[in-house]
C-alpha cells in the first residue's frame, strides 16, 4: 500500500489536474449546540478530509491547477492554549501531512475572488469566512460555473475509492459488524431499545469510531428514520437497527438488520422478511460495472411486488402495473440505496450532482422520488443495497393514498400482517471489475442465523 502522504498527494494532484481555477476547500468549524462555547464535536468537511486526511478546525486548503497546494491553518490564541491545550505547529502539520502549511491570515488577498472555486460549507462561522474571502456563499443550489467545475472534479474522484479509502471503509464495516452482532446478542424481551442503541455506540467508541449517522434502533420500523429509542421491547416485536460506524479518519458504513426480539420470527414476519431478503439478494447479484443503479432498484421493486402479490397483500395488477401505478411505493417508498464513502450518503452536500449522472434527474414517480443514485455502476464505487417493507398505518390512511389502497391493497390480508411494522435489510457493496463484494455480509441476515444469535452467546 502506498504511504498515506503519497495517497493524499495523489488525490490533490488528481484534483489539480482537473481544475482550471484554484480551489479553496474549507474544513469548517464545530457548530454550537446552544451557545458558542458548547459545540458539537468537530468533524472536518468530507471534501477537506479527502484531500488532507486530518481534521483541523478552521483550516482551508488551496489547490492550484499547477498541482501545488497550501494548507492554511488558524493561529491559536494564548487562550486557546489555556482552554484547549497545545496545537501542533505549522512545521509539525507540514511534515506530518507532507504539505506546505501557512497561517490562515495569509489567505486573505492571496487570490482574485472571482477566479476562485469553492464548495458548500456547513456551519455559520465558516459561511461568513467563505463570504468574506471569496465574496459569496456557496450552496448546492447556487453553484457558480467555476464552483460547478470544482464540484464535478471532486465528484469524479470521490466516486471511485482508492486503496486507502477502501481499507477505511472495510475497517468501518468490520467495527459495524461487531456492533450489530453485540446488539443482536443483547436483544431480548423487556430490554429498552435505548439499551441496544447504547451497546452499538459503546462498541463504536471502544474502537475509536463514532456513528456515521444517528443510529435508528426501534420496534417502530415503519417510521423510516425513527429518531427515538424510548421503547421497551415486547414479545412479538421486530427491532430495526440501522447503524454504521465511522472510522477514525471519517469513512462510513451503513447497515440495517431487522430482528425478532423474542428470538423467533412469527410466520407472518418470516414471510415478509424472506421476501425483503430475496429482493436484497436479487439486487446484490445484479451489481456489476455498467449496470444502471435505477434498473437494480426496479429489479428489487419487481421482486417485492411479485412477493406481495403472492402473499395477497397487493392485488389487481401484475408487478409492473403495481410499480407503475404507485401501489408498491405504499410499502417500499424509498430508494434501493446510495453512494457510501466519507459521507453516509456520499457527497449529498452537492445535492443530486453526485448521485445522478449528468443528464439524469430525479423523477417525481412514487417509486423513484427518493432514489438517491442513478448512475451506471463503475468499479471502485461503494453503494448500499437496502430494500424494505413498511406497514405505516398513518401513511396508508392518508387521503392522498386512499384511492391506491382501495384499488390495490387487500386490507383484510394486510391486517393479518399487523406484527410486521417495518423491515429493512441493508449492506454495503464495493463494485469490483466483474461484480460486487459485500463488505458487511458476515453480519447475520438469514432467518436461521439471526435466530441463533438473538439474546444468545454465539
Ligand atoms: N441510515 C440511513 C440510510 O440508510 O440511508
Ligand atoms: Mn443507507
Ligand atoms: Mn442505513
* pLDDT at residue 293, as a whole number: 99
**Confidence (pTM):** 0.97
C-beta of 386 in contact with ligand 1 (< 6 A): yes
What average pLDDT does the structure give for the chain? 96
Ligand 2 centre distance from Cα of residue 255 (Å): 7
Name all domains of the chain by residue range, CATH numbers in brackets. Answer: 4-158 (3.40.350.10), 163-455 (3.90.230.10)
What single DSSP character describes residue 32? B
Query: Is the per-residue pLDDT at 157 higher than 60?
Result: yes
CA 445 to centroid of ligand 1, rounded, Å: 17
- The arithmetic mean of pLDDT across residues 176-198, rounded, is 98
- Residue 213 in contact with ligand 1 by CB distance below 6 A: yes
- Cα 226 to averaged position of ligand 1 atoms, centre (Å): 11
Q: What is the mean pLDDT of residues 187-203?
A: 98
Q: Indicate the helix (H) or strand (E) that contains 63.
A: strand 60-63
**Best mutation site among 215, 216, 226, 254 for ligand 1 pocket (most ligand atoms within 8 Å of CB):** 254
Closest-CA residue, ligand 1 atom 4, reads 254
Q: Pick the ligand that lies closest to the CA of residue 227.
A: 1
User: Probe ligand 1: pick from 256, 280, 335, 347, max atoms within 8 Å of CB?
Assistant: 256
φ, ψ of residue 317 in degrees (nearest 5): 165, 160
Q: What is the largest distance, in Å, between two alpha-carbon atoms of the chain?
A: 73
pLDDT (tens digit, 9 = 90+) per residue, 213-266?
Answer: 999 999 999 999 998 999 999 999 999 999 999 999 999 999 999 999 999 999
Pure H helices in 102-215: 124-134, 145-158, 163-185, 193-206
Sign of CA dihedral 227, 230, 236, 242: positive
pLDDT at 3: 85
pLDDT tens digits, 286-337: 999 999 999 999 999 999 999 999 999 999 999 999 999 999 999 999 999 9
Q: Which residue has the cell 469524479?
A: 156
Does residue 368 surpass a pLDDT of 60?
A: yes
Here the cell at position 67 is 498541482
Tell me the three cell numbers of residue 1: 500500500
Tens digits of per-residue pLDDT, 42-70?
999 999 999 999 999 999 999 999 999 99
Question: Phi and psi (nearest 5°) for 339?
Answer: -70, 150
Nearest ligand 1 atom to the CA of 424 is: 4
106 C-alpha to ligand 3 centroid (Å): 42
State the cell numbers at 63: 489547490
Dist. CA 89 → ligand 2 center (Å): 39
Amino acid at each position: 500500500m502506498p504511504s498515506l502522504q503519497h495517497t493524499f498527494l495523489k488525490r490533490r494532484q488528481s484534483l489539480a489536474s482537473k481544475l482550471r481555477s484554484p480551489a479553496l476547500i474549507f474544513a469548517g468549524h464545530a457548530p454550537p449546540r446552544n451557545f458558542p462555547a458548547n459545540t458539537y464535536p468537530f468533524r472536518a468537511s468530507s471534501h477537506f478530509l479527502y484531500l488532507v486526511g486530518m481534521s483541523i478546525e478552521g483550516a482551508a486548503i488551496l489547490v492550484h491547477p499547477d498541482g501545488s497546494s497550501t494548507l492554511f491553518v488558524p493561529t491559536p490564541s494564548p487562550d486557546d492554549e489555556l482552554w484547549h491545550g497545545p496545537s501542533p505547529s505549522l512545521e509539525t502539520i507540514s511534515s506530518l501531512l507532507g504539505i506546505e502549511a501557512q497561517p490562515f491570515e495569509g489567505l486573505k488577498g492571496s487570490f482574485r475572488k472571482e477566479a476562485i472555486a469553492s464548495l458548500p460549507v456547513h456551519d455559520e462561522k465558516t459561511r461568513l469566512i467563505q463570504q468574506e474571502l471569496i465574496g459569496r456563499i456557496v450552496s448546492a443550489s447556487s453553484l457558480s460555473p467555476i464552483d460547478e467545475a470544482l464540484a464535478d472534479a471532486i465528484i469524479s474522484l470521490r466516486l471511485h475509492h482508492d486503496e486507502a479509502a477502501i481499507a477505511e471503509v472495510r475497517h468501518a464495516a468490520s467495527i459495524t459488524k461487531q456492533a450489530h452482532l453485540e446488539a443482536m446478542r443483547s436483544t431480548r424481551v423487556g430490554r429498552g431499545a435505548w439499551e441496544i442503541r447504547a451497546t452499538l455506540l459503546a462498541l463504536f467508541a471502544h474502537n475509536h469510531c463514532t456513528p456515521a449517522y444517528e443510529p435508528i434502533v426501534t420496534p417502530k420500523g415503519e417510521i423510516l428514520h425513527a429518531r427515538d429509542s424510548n421503547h421497551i421491547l415486547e414479545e412479538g416485536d421486530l427491532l430495526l437497527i440501522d447503524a454504521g460506524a465511522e472510522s477514525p479518519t471519517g469513512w462510513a458504513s451503513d447497515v440495517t438488520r431487522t430482528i425478532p426480539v423474542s428470538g423467533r420470527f412469527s410466520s407472518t414476519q418470516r414471510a415478509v422478511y424472506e421476501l425483503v431478503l430475496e429482493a436484497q439478494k436479487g439486487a446484490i447479484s445484479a451489481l456489476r460495472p455498467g449496470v444502471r443503479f435505477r434498473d437494480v432498484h426496479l429489479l428489487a421493486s419487481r421482486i417485492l411486488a411479485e412477493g406481495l402479490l403472492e402473499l395477497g397483500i397487493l392485488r389487481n395488477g401484475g408487478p409492473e402495473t403495481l410499480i407503475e401505478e404507485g401501489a408498491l411505493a405504499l410499502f417500499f417508498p424509498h430508494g434501493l440505496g446510495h453512494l457510501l464513502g466519507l459521507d453516509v450518503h456520499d457527497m449529498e452536500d452537492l445535492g443530486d450532482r453526485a448521485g445522478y449522472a449528468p443528464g439524469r434527474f430525479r423523477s417525481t414517480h412514487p417509486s423513484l422520488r427518493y432514489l438517491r443514485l442513478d448512475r451506471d455502476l463503475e468499479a471502485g464505487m461503494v453503494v448500499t443495497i437496502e430494500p424494505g417493507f413498511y406497514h405505516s398505518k398513518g401513511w396508508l390512511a392518508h387521503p392522498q393514498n386512499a384511492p391506491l389502497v382501495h384499488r390495490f391493497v387487500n386490507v383484510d390480508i394486510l391486517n393479518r400482517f399487523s406484527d410486521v411494522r417495518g423491515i429493512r435489510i441493508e449492506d454495503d457493496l464495493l463494485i469490483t471489475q466483474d461484480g460486487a463484494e459485500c463488505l458487511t455480509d458476515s453480519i447475520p441476515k438469514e432467518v436461521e442465523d439471526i435466530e441463533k444469535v438473538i439474546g444468545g452467546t454465539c
